[in-house]
């Protein structure tokens, strides 16, 4: 198993340290089911910084490409990853919970003395993956030559009665 870096997050931020590297996509177990192909690597850079309020923080940068599964046609879909996030460190979860939630509040994480860099990178990578990735245009299996698609509800009208008049057999509206 390859060596995976572990940092003391608070000390890393205070020292304004930097760390760069890459991980094989096969190392991201929580992402595995969303990938159409597992080959490739993800480049990362981690920098210890201070946020606008002077609090210790980690700046995470990710670059790479993922082969996701299109949720429309189930074919492979290349998704470029370009992430830049700043994570403000907190001494405890209670400190994070005490801060009011606002839309523009920075992301907060607990400053672990043994923070696994791969897990931090995987967390940010999962946030960057679309919930339901789809091609902008893709061809569905079974589509006609003109590209028309049959609605999955096309047969529903026959089950409900006379769909042309908009009335059921008793004369009422649907």
State residue 145's pLDDT score. 42
**Is the Cα dihedral 27, 33, 35, 38 positive or negative?**
positive
| Residue 20, domain member (yes or no) | yes
User: Domain for residue 155, yes or no?
Assistant: no
> What pLDDT sits at residue 173?
54
- First CA to last CA across the chain, in angstroms? 63
Closest by CA to 163, choosing from 148, 151, 149, is 151
| Domain-located, residue 150 | no
Question: Mean pLDDT of successive 10-residue segments in the chain (174 residues)?
Answer: 85 96 94 90 96 94 94 89 95 90 87 94 93 82 47 68 53 53
Residue 154 is assigned to a structural domain of this protein: no
Q: What pLDDT is stored for residue 55 in this prediction? A: 93
Max Cα-Cα span within the chain: 79
Beta carbons of 4 and 116 less than 8 angstroms apart: yes
* Separation between Cα atoms, residue 77 and residue 80, nearest integer Å: 10
- Read off the pTM: 0.74
Q: Is residue 31 part of a domain?
A: yes
State the residue range of the domain holding 50.
6-128
The number of domains in the chain is 1
Domain presence at residue 60: yes
- Beta 41-50 vs 18-24: how paired, if at all? antiparallel
Say if CB 44 and CB 61 are below 8 A apart: yes
DSSP 8-state assignment for residue 140: P
Give CA–CA dist 113/6, Å, rounded. Answer: 9
Structure confidence at residue 160 (pLDDT): 74
């Amino acid at each position: 198993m390859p060596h995976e870096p572990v940092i003391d997050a608070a000390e890393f931020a205070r020292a304004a340290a930097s760390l760069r590297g890459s991980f094989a996509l096969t190392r991201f177990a929580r992402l595995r089911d969303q990938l159409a192909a597992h080959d490739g690597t993800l480049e990362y850079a981690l920098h210890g910084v201070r946020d606008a309020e002077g609090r210790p923080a980690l700046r995470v940068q990710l670059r790479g490409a993922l082969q996701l599964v299109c949720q429309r046609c189930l074919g492979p879909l290349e998704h470029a990853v370009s992430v830049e996030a700043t994570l403000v460190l907190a001494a405890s979860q209670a400190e994070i919970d005490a801060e009011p939630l606002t839309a523009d509040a920075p992301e907060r994480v607990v400053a672990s003395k043994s923070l696994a860099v791969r897990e931090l990178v995987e967390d940010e990578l999962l946030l960057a993956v679309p919930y339901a990735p789809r091609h902008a245009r893709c061809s569905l299996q079974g589509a006609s030559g003109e590209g028309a698609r049959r609605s999955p509800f096309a047969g529903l009208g026959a089950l409900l009665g006379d769909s042309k008049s908009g009335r059921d057999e008793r004369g009422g509206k649907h």
